[in-house]
């Protein structure tokens, strides 16, 4: 395999690919030899990215199907199968923001974010994983099936004014762990990403910070993040599953998730009144969590 084309002849389905990170992933996967299904609720944006891929010599299908229902997800997969014969990689990237302080959130603010992020991550993964499982059971496994989910620093450590978004992204990190454990028997790997890059979301929230520099390395370029996503979508990543990668610029790390800390064991039931010094000692013995963004 050409090391520069580590996804040669594979088909990747990317949600929210009409701009920002999704567009970068589409271009990077195509450069690595993959066929790309560019899914975005904005069909015109999806078609523009698909046209970029084709202009660079790649193969792409633009799609505006609904990722928040199983019927919509099935229709997206069916279109991909018709165009390319198989889907090998799912990159769940689509997301929205409804940022408000917790006490100002409406029910719709909460539901919309959960629907796009959490349910959107569920539907396509469910449809494709069922297909991959059935193929494996039938003795004709799909080569190196991959799911790449999108969490966030907000989901890993919280973010002021984003309780709905942080809860959804934390849920995606938890979903990734369970998917990885359950789907390993079918050869499916599942990992997630907490990316930092210049997108419509970050440009709206912190335009000066993410502004493209006049010269030198552009650490906020979404293509920087695309490198690890392409690798995770390739056959090279078969030994890595259930991990959450943080990526920005040239920096890459694996998030160190929740672990059971020091334990105090009385050997019997605690009286609530005696717990103050016990809890205080446990906290002293435990590594302090990272600060919530915005504090």
Q: Which residues are catalytic, by number?
A: 152, 165, 169
Instruction: Please name the helix (run of DSSP H) or strand (run of DSSP E) that holds residue 104, with its range, or none.
Output: none
- φ, ψ for residue 123, nearest 5 deg: -65, -55
CB within 8 A of 152, min separation 6: which ones? 159, 165, 166, 169, 194, 195
CA dist., res. 76 & res. 78, Å (int): 5
| 251: helix, strand or coil | strand
CB within 8 A of 184, min separation 6: which ones? 241
Both structure tokens of 115: 């629907």
DSSP letters, 128-154, are HHHHHHHHHHTT-PPSS-EEEEE--HH
Task: Provide the 8-state DSSP code for 293.
Answer: B
CA dist., res. 293 & res. 295, Å (int): 6
CA dist., res. 28 & res. 43, Å (int): 20
Cβ atoms within 10 Å of 133's Cβ, excluding its own: 19
Extract the runs of DSSP E, i.e. beta strands, from the chain.
11-14, 35-39, 60-63, 89-91, 146-150, 189-195, 244-248, 251-254
CA dist., res. 272 & res. 266, Å (int): 13
């Amino acid at each position: 395999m050409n090391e520069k084309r580590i996804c040669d002849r594979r088909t990747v389905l990317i949600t929210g690919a009409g701009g920002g990170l999704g567009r970068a992933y589409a271009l990077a996967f195509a450069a690595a030899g993959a066929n790309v299904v560019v899914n975005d609720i904005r069909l015109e944006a999806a078609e523009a990215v698909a046209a970029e891929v084709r202009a660079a010599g790649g193969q792409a299908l633009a799609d505006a199907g609904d990722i928040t229902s199983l019927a919509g997800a099935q229709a997206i997969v069916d279109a991909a199968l018709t165009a390319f014969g198989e889907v090998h990689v799912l990159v769940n990237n689509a997301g929205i923001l409804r940022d408000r302080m917790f006490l100002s959130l409406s029910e719709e603010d909460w539901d919309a974010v959960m629907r796009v992020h959490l349910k959107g991550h569920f539907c396509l993964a469910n449809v494709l994983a069922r297909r991959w499982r059935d193929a494996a059971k039938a003795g004709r496994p799909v080569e190196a099936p991959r799911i790449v989910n999108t969490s966030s620093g907000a989901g890993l450590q919280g973010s002021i004014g984003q309780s709905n978004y942080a809860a959804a992204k934390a849920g995606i990190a938890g979903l990734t762990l369970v998917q990885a454990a359950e789907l390993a028997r079918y050869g499916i790997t599942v990992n997630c990403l907490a990316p930092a890059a210049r997108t419509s979301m970050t440009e709206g929230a912190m335009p000066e910070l993410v502004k493209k520099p006049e010269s030198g390395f552009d650490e906020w370029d979404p293509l920087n993040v695309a490198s690890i996503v392409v690798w995770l979508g390739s056959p090279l990543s078969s030994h890595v599953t259930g991990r959450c990668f943080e990526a920005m610029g040239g920096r890459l790390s694996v998030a160190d998730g929740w672990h059971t800390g020091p334990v105090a064991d009385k050997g019997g039931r605690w009286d609530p009144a005696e717990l103050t010094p016990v809890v205080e000692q446990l906290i002293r013995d435990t590594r302090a969590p990272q600060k919530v963004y915005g504090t």
